[in-house]
Structure 1
Amino acid sequence: MTPRELRALCLSFNAAVEDFPFNPETSVFKVQGKMFALVNLDARPLTVNLKCDPDDAVRLRTEHEGLIVPGWHMNKRHWNTVTADGGLPDRLVRELVEDSYDLVVAGLPRADRLRLDRP
């Protein structure tokens, strides 16, 4: 997956926005003010921090050793750092980004979820 494709994917979700709260190099993708992806689109290798169900996080780290690792500078229980431009299939990266978005949306108040058309 290229940086351009990753950025487009993150912005394709309903109400997703890109923000730069830390520095001009680090894109933070949010929904309703809550982060679901954090990435430096110029970094090589291209890695992205994504929220993940804790049980799935451990399984994914085991299945994709070295390509999916505990979230760098994040809560290691709930976040993974995923190498997006390497050995992982683009389909899996897309699913992980979508799962991250869905987990964040699931934690929003019901009224916000309904505005996003996500029950």
Structure 2
Amino acid sequence: MNIEDYRLYCLSKKGATESIPFPKLPNILVFKVKGKMFTATNIDTFNSFSIKCEPETIEELRMQYDALQEPSYFSKKHWSSVLMDGSISDKILCEWLDISYRLVVAKLTKKERLDLENL
């Protein structure tokens, strides 16, 4: 997966938006749904991206996949950094992005989820 495939896949999610929201980090591209982040990456390097994970399975996944690392700036209980070292198939990368998106959508208010369904 290259950065453009990543970007297009993220934007294919219902209600997804992209932005560079951190003035002091102009190279960090963030994807959100209803204002809540579900993934982010460095657009200059695209050597990794962050995803939200299920706390119950995050440690097991990290043990199974060397490319799944503890994040630098996010909660280690809920987020992982995915190293783009070529060891993870695009199919699995997309599945992880799907999970991250679904976890964020699940935390939205009922009204926000209904608005999203009606897009």
Q: TM-score, normalised by structure 1?
A: 0.91
CA RMSD of aligned residues (A): 1.4
Counterpart CA distance in 2 for 1:77 and 1:83 is 18
1:49 lines up with 2:34 in the alignment: no
SS of the counterpart of 1:55? coil
Deviation at residue 41 of structure 1 after TM alignment: 2.4
Counterpart AA for 1:17: T
1:86 lines up with 2:59 in the alignment: no
2:33 corresponds to which of 24, 31, 50: 31
**1:28 touches 1:35 (CA, 8 Å); kept in 2?**
yes
For residue 21 of structure 2, what is the aligned residue in structure 1? 21
Percent pairwise identity: 37
1:54-110 deviation line (CA, Å, top 9, x unaligned): 122111100002x00112211000000012351101100000001000000000001
Counterpart AA for 2:50: N
5+ residue gaps in structure 1? none
5+ residue gaps in structure 2? none
Counterpart AA for 1:112: E
SS of the counterpart of 2:31? strand
Q: Runs of 4 or more off by more than 3 Å in structure 1? A: none
Counterpart CA distance in 2 for 1:72 and 1:98 is 22
The count of aligned residue pairs is 116
Deviation at residue 24 of structure 1 after TM alignment: 2.2
